[in-house]
Chains A and B, each alone.
Chain A
Amino acid sequence: MSVTAPTAFETRSSGRGSAFWQRLRSGDDIAYVITLTCAMTILAITALLVFELFTNSSVARRQFGWSFLTSNVWDPTGERFGALPFIYGTVVTSTLALLMGIPLGVGAAIFLAELAPTKISNALTFLIELLAAVPSVIYGLLGIFVLIPMLKAAEPFLRGLLGWTPLFSGPFYGQSLFAAGVVLTVMIIPFIISISREVILAVPTEQRDGALALGATRWETTWNVVLPFAKKGIMGSIFLALARALGETMAVTMVIGNQPEIHTSLFAPGYSMAAVIANEFAEATGELYQHTLIELALVLFGLTIVINGLARLLVLSTTRRGAG
């Protein structure tokens, strides 16, 4: 429900004598000023954040230029830095998380929105949304002590099934891109489910009824009518989940192996942008090293901004103001 402020209260009088004091007493202007200041503070903080990231990465940016994004050398002693291994690790793990998370998430959302009775749907959604509240470090804890042993046990099976692809070749030590991808999958599923479910629920019943009346099965209706209708919102949820996955730090650094190298195999260890910043920032000696890590933070920041922007655009246009 949208409430617009009545315009009568936005007029300004000429500020003469008693009228001024009366307005002051009524507190409207003070309230306006105070709340406006707080709103501006948000803008100020964000602007300062961008400014700080920018200025504190200046040495690195000047030194490396755009080749920073394409170089895969990470040599702290020789002071040569390239962001490619981290961009690679971040992109690969996030993509893996999406590939596994989207079918699971959208599937569950379909069940919760279309099939489950309302009470059960609400209860189950409530439980699933609690997954989103579990702190990252606890996912990391479970990743190290539960997931990695499980993956090690499942390795022969995976290798037998998919070992012919370069994606699952090479030695497997537990800590790997794959492990990080799986942890991220579990972390992003609640976001996809929660938003997709809302979007699917918002699809008008007439659409479904029409398809069913034509003799389509429940699944055919969902797949051919409901999902296309809810497409934008679901895409939005995916982007949101992606933005979340990109910025994940603790859970990833605890299971990814922390090796700044690019391997095609998912069984190999890797590194992500957030993880390297967390590991190496406290001890980055020398201005260039520090500035390089802050430049990585800037790249990460830029990436999440773009993805989040797209996500909000897509989600807002479908859930709040009606479907389609």
Chain B
Amino acid sequence: MIRRTAILSALVAAVGTVACAQQLLINAAGATFPYPMYSKWFDEFHKKFPNVSINYQSIGSGGGIQQVTAATVDFGASDGPMTDMQIKAFQDKRGAAILHFPTVMGAVVPTYNIPGVSGSINFTGEALAGIFLGKITKWNDPQIATANPGVKLPSSNIVVVHRAEGSGTTYIWADYLSKVSKEWEMKVGRANSVTWPVGLAGKGNEGVSGSIQQTANSIGYVELIYAIQNKMTYGKVRNAAGEFIQASLASVTAAAAGMKDMPEDFRVSISNAPGKGVYPISSFTWLLIPSKIADPAKKKAIKDFLAWMLADGQKMTPALSYAPLPQVVLAKEVKAIDKIQ
């Protein structure tokens, strides 16, 4: 028996060491917001370049920032752009700059599980702020009901679900709420990690969706594709022009349409953008790539991926309801790839 175990162990060791000996494995971690898109992209990229595997783990934007700063992953991803302090911390620690590369635009939707309500209900910005501040506690509260004439809302208590960890999706949500509610801006503010006045916590967009599915009368905020893929109901949000808009490819694309120019470092917020047909809780999401990559093979692979992403990758976004980058951004970004040394 000992001999058999030894042979088996040797086999495992051999397979483990030899398997994919030619494989270039690039590790990345970060946002759960674009995870469905990224996992599809990395899969397609792997099919095109079979010797490159990009292992992306969705641990939340906060995790992406932390791990890329600690250099335990080759690049990160976040939907909340890094703050100046975090950029400086990266610079101090790694001796190089961190570059933001926008990849897609997505929407954060208020998704809910209300027994008896199977359609999309309307939310004003103030109503959402009130719910997440814990001031609006029942579904049939007038602030929600007035926007939804004809919909029978129950009198049950609202169960709020938010993120447990540092999240770019949280940033986008909090950023929007800060713009529509002074009280929110003062009490909670905008960041990857906020102090939530109320609610249960789920891990990742995945965990929040899962929690909402399991909990009646709950509401949370997730990226659009999570609600769609899991057939969850999500609401319309009132935009700056006063219309109640449902998140979609068109309404998210419209959010960036008014953008005249993109800053050099690509950090910008498009939430609550003015204009008709705009979905107000839209955002870019970024890959965080160090400007200096030591390993030449990895550097080439990452640059190849970026080029591919900006060309072929963009064509795949509509299928997953993410909006492709606007032209003005694409052109600028292709040039920015050269900044990676």
Could you mark each residue 45-72 of chain A with 1 if its beta carbon is under 8 Å from any beta carbon of chain B, else 0?
A: 0000000000000000000000000000
Asked if B200 and A285 make an inter-chain contact with CB atoms under 8 angstroms apart, the answer reads no
Closest to B191 in A: A77
* Distance in Å: Cβ of A195 to nearest Cβ of chain B: 31
- Per the bound structure, the CA–CA distance linking A77 and B200 in Å amounts to 19
Is B215 part of the binding interface, using a Cβ–Cβ cutoff of 8 Å?
yes
- Per the bound structure, the CA–CA distance linking A259 and B196 in Å amounts to 9
- A173, A259, A269, A279: the one contacting B203 at CB < 8 Å is A279
Q: Given A76-B166, A269-B200, A279-B165, decide whether A174 and B66 contact each other with a Cβ distance below 8 A.
A: no
Residues of A contacting B: mostly: loop
Closest to B60 in A: A283
Closest to A170 in B: B157
Residues of A within 8 A of B211 (CB): 175
Asked if B201 and A258 make an inter-chain contact with CB atoms under 8 angstroms apart, the answer reads yes
- Per the bound structure, the CA–CA distance linking A282 and B64 in Å amounts to 9
Asked if B200 and A173 make an inter-chain contact with CB atoms under 8 angstroms apart, the answer reads yes
Asked if B65 and A77 make an inter-chain contact with CB atoms under 8 angstroms apart, the answer reads no
Could you mark each residue 147-182 of chain B with 1 if its beta carbon is under 8 Å from any beta carbon of chain A, else 0?
A: 000000000010100001110000000000000000
- Per the bound structure, the CA–CA distance linking A174 and B202 in Å amounts to 13
Residues of B within 8 A of A173 (CB): 159, 200, 215, 218
- Per the bound structure, the CA–CA distance linking A152 and B218 in Å amounts to 15
Cβ < 8 Å to B, chain A residues 188-228: none
Residues of A within 8 A of B66 (CB): 282-285
Residues of A within 8 A of B157 (CB): 171
Closest to A74 in B: B195
Could you mark each residue 74-92 of chain B with 1 if its beta carbon is under 8 Å from any beta carbon of chain A, else 0?
A: 0000000000001001000
Is B130 part of the binding interface, using a Cβ–Cβ cutoff of 8 Å?
no
Could you mark each residue 20-62 of chain A with 1 if its beta carbon is under 8 Å from any beta carbon of chain B, else 0?
A: 0000000000000000000000000000000000000000000
* Distance in Å: Cβ of A183 to nearest Cβ of chain B: 16
Cβ < 8 Å to A, chain B residues 22-54: 29
Residues of A within 8 A of B86 (CB): 285
Is A75 part of the binding interface, using a Cβ–Cβ cutoff of 8 Å?
yes
Is A148 part of the binding interface, using a Cβ–Cβ cutoff of 8 Å?
yes
Is A160 part of the binding interface, using a Cβ–Cβ cutoff of 8 Å?
no
Asked if B165 and A283 make an inter-chain contact with CB atoms under 8 angstroms apart, the answer reads yes
Is B189 part of the binding interface, using a Cβ–Cβ cutoff of 8 Å?
yes
Residues of B within 8 A of A286 (CB): 89
- Per the bound structure, the CA–CA distance linking A175 and B208 in Å amounts to 13
Q: Given A171-B157, A258-B164, A282-B67, decide whether A77 and B203 contact each other with a Cβ distance below 8 A.
A: no
Q: List 10 A-B contacts (CB under 8 A).
A: A77-B193, A148-B214, A173-B215, A175-B200, A175-B215, A258-B164, A258-B200, A282-B67, A283-B67, A285-B62
Taking Cβ atoms with an 8 Å cutoff, the residues of A that contact B are 74-78, 144, 148, 171, 173-175, 257-259, 269, 279-280, 282-286
